[in-house]
Amino acid sequence: MEPIRPPPPRWWQRPGAGRAPPGRDPGENSRVPAEPVPEETSRAPGPGRAWLWVLIGAAILTQTALNLARPVVSYKVIALGGDAAAVGLIAAVYATLPVAAALWLGRVTDRLSSLRALVAAGAVLLAAACALLAWAPDLLWLGAASAVLGMGHLVFTIAGQSAIARYAPLNLLDAGFGWFTAAFSGGQLAGPLLAGLLLGQGLAAGGDGRMAAINAALLLAAGIALAAWPLMAAYRPGARRRPAGRAATAPPDAAAPADSALQILRRPGVAWNMVAALALLATIDILVAFLPLLAEERGVGPVAVGALLAVRACASIISRLALSKLLQRFSRHQLLVASLLGSGAALLFTPVFLDLFWAAALALAVGGLLLGLGQPLTMSLITQSVRPESRGAALALRLLGNRVGQVGLPLAAGLLAAPLGPSGAVWFACAVLGAAGAAKLRRPG
């Protein structure tokens, strides 16, 4: 082994530092033991972080398509003669296929040497699902297409999250997940706005003109999702992070066996953070599914609904981009508890003030700011709770929990909405957030 000079402090942060200068033969006394490379910064040479911005661009496109389609699906359910229970059922069907496939897909991402094709496949599935939703002639077809939509979202999300867990330095993990989830919020902002503009102020539940506008919006969503596919041709991530102590020349398949699902769940904090993630995501789904129904009941047009959902998403973008700064003052646990309890309290007022646009917008803005913090925090907490070889599986298990919540909670919300009206569905989501926040407050792990 070529002898090297004693390295200066933090030598691993400067590429090539610690090596003997070219042409110089250091003496035998200058030989020093090799030091292990910390996992946080251990990276083989790569093309930089442009891959992250490409991934974020694809996320904005796919999530714009998804969040354009989902509120429009609620309007299509109404146009086809469905009620609140049907809206809840369609929202739950969206998560059925992902429940069965999430953990398997996470294992696949841990074994793949490149995640680019999987990200692109998610975008194509989303585009196909949106087209199927547009062509759906009845509620049964609409439910099947909604299941495909959920599968496309799962494939894209698991591949994207696994790419960040694999390639981003651990000291930048919160920022990476924050930007990625901010891209999701960007789609949640643009999608409902587009839906509102395309459907206009019309409140008629049926009619050929209304159905034509709904189907045109869904076909536009298909085109937006498909635009992410050629973008992924430029996706070139850096080198895979090596766990501490692993030789630099070790091939990717030299990793230790991944933990089982039960072993992952037994890791401190994993199960509790999964519950928090489930409550946060299910609340967003319930808002997207039931706010159009509540608006129809109150005589509020689709443009206002789109604007209100966009306010919530915009607030989440702001909080996610500010996450790194907030973590300099507060712990992850404090921010996550605030996200759960604060958003639940703020969103209680949304059904009360829906007729007063600015009051409802304020409630959704405060709720959105706090909702936005929770998802990237649970990703980071779960990622750092497990071994590197199991990070893809752990993130997939987190998404599996999310999908179980997306099946059960909208169904329960739909049942509550039948006797109590759509307001009951939103209040139910707030109660779930409060319960998860109280549990997290009692058990910080």
pLDDT of res. 243: 43
pLDDT (0 to 100) of residue 18: 37
Note the pLDDT of residue 184.
85
Ramachandran angles phi, psi of 425, nearest 5°: -65, -45
The residue that leads in pLDDT, 299 or 1, is: 299
Structural contact between residues 223 and 100, judged by C-beta atoms closer than 8 angstroms: no
Residue ranges making up the domain that contains 392: 46-235+262-442
Residue 62 maps to a domain: yes
Domain-located, residue 319: yes
Show Cβ contacts of residue 211 under 8 Å, excluding neighbours closer than 6 positions: 76, 79
In a domain, 26, yes or no: no
pLDDT per residue over 256-273, tens digit each?
566 777 888 888 888 888
What contacts 18, CB < 8 A, 6 or more positions away? 4, 5, 7, 11, 12
Tell me the CB-side half-sphere exposure of residue 186, using CA atoms within 13 A.
14
For the segment 25-32, the average pLDDT, to the nearest whole number, is 38
Q: Is residue 249 part of a domain?
A: no
DSSP state of 53: H
- The one-character DSSP state at 439 is H
Q: CA distances (Å), 416 to each of 419, 422, 436, in order? A: 6, 8, 19
Query: What's the CATH code of the domain at 394?
Result: 1.20.1250.20
Residue 145 banded pLDDT, cuts 50, 70, 90:
very high
Q: What is the DSSP letter of 163?
A: H
Question: What are 153-178's pLDDT values in tens digits?
Answer: 989 988 888 888 777 776 677 777 88
C-alpha distances out from residue 119 to 73, 343, 391, 416, 442, Å: 24, 31, 17, 37, 38
Confidence of residue 343 (pLDDT cuts 50, 70, 90): very high
- For residue 245, is it within any domain? no
Three-state SS across 239-290?
Answer: CCCCCCCCCCCCCHHHCCCCCCHHHHHHCCCHHHHHHHHHHHHHHHHHHHHH
Q: Take residue 139 and report the two structure tokens written for it.
A: 């509620």
In sequence order, what DSSP letters do the residues of 63-126 get, joined into one string? HHHHHHHHHHHHHHHHHTT--HHHHHHHHHHTTHHHHHHHHHHHHHHHH-S--HHHHHHHHHHH
Total count of domains within the chain? 1
246 part of a folded domain: no
Q: pLDDT for 222-238, tens place per residue?
A: 999 999 888 776 665 54
CA-closest candidate to residue 298, choices 353, 363, 358: 353
- Tokens at residue 351, please? 């059904």
Residue 255 falls within a domain, yes or no?
Answer: no
| Residue 88, in any domain of the structure | yes
CB 290 within 8 A of CB 413: yes
